Amino acid sequence: MSSPAQSKKPKGILKKPTEPTTSALVAAAATPAPVSPFPVQESNPAAEKPSARDVAVQQALVIQQQYVLEDQIQDAIIALSYFPLVRAPSYDAANPAPSDADAFRQHVRPFQPGDYEDMIEERNARGLCGFALCPRPRIKLPKGGEYKLVNYGRKDFNIVPRKELERWCSQSCARRAMYVKVQLNETAAWERAGIPSIRIELLDEPKEPTAGGDGNDNAAERLARELRDLQIGKEIKATRDAAGLACERGDATDIQSTRSIDVDIKEKSVIIAPQEPSPATDNEGHLILDGYKTKFDSRSETMTQRSNARDIAAKIDDLFDD
């Protein structure tokens, strides 16, 4: 028989939950909830997770945009191989035409250093100077070694490869071309296509004639032009940033490919039905691998057999001689 102390249940230390009264519920309903300045949207994991097809379409759009930019770079290389477009006595490599300079900056902007080298080689193949704004042909040195002495007897004496000298018409154009090349970025073109701060500067900026005809810009006009360009850059910066982010996300854009390729897929006609390879009947089935039988030169086998027979005959003669 259990004692009264053992039959008594232990008392809990936690407080019992109290049910809210009717007055408390009415007061809570009447109290307005705090309004957040940011809209709160309920998350729906099923709706936020894109399908496999949507992911594939986004990746395909990104790849298509990359192909479009690559096509534009190749077209720019071909276009720059014909520069300058304005060939007049008043314009040269040190003072190019403003239209040619602007077009050159626009074409070179998405270039990488490798693309710029391709443009130089393309111009050299046409016999022109490697600097795109120079109308003169490249120099051709007389026959000699692979290296040439430049400025012999002077402080800037140097030994330069022959091919490097023949890329330009003069050392001045080489400096102008390299001045542009060092401004190019190794980053891929589609990663910096929407950055408005990229600007290509020339070593010799073109001189626009003023109303006075002195051929030089005064400080006031130059300052006004810089302020105008800065204001325009501020207005379009937000739009280009948004376009760049959309390109990174893979959103649909209005960029369309300028080239179309007709692909005609034809099914290969089968004349003979495929057959399972059968083992050979000449006890050489071990030489067949995936239906192909290994072949040996019969003449080499015959020569080997003859040499072996001669060796055996010589050994027999030696035995009998002993």
| pTM > 0.85 | no
Most confident of 48-57, 115-124, 193-202, 242-251: 115-124
Flag the least confident range among 51-65, 67-81, 246-260, 303-317: 246-260
**Burial state string for 130-157 with b = 16 or more CB within 10 A and e = fewer than 16:** bbbbbbeebeeeeeeeeebeeeeeeeee
- CA pair distance 94, 142, nearest whole angstrom: 27
Confidence class of residue 26 from pLDDT cuts 50, 70 and 90?
Answer: low
- CA pair distance 180, 93, nearest whole angstrom: 13
Structure confidence by residue, pLDDT tens digits, 29-40: 555 554 444 444
pLDDT of residue 121: 94
Structure confidence by residue, pLDDT tens digits, 237-283: 767 677 777 767 666 555 555 566 777 888 878 777 777 766 556 66
Question: Cβ distance 177 to 168 under 8 Å?
Answer: yes
pLDDT of residue 306: 66
**Chain centroid to CA 237:** 24
pLDDT of residue 151: 78
Query: DSSP letter at 286?
Result: G
pLDDT of residue 174: 92
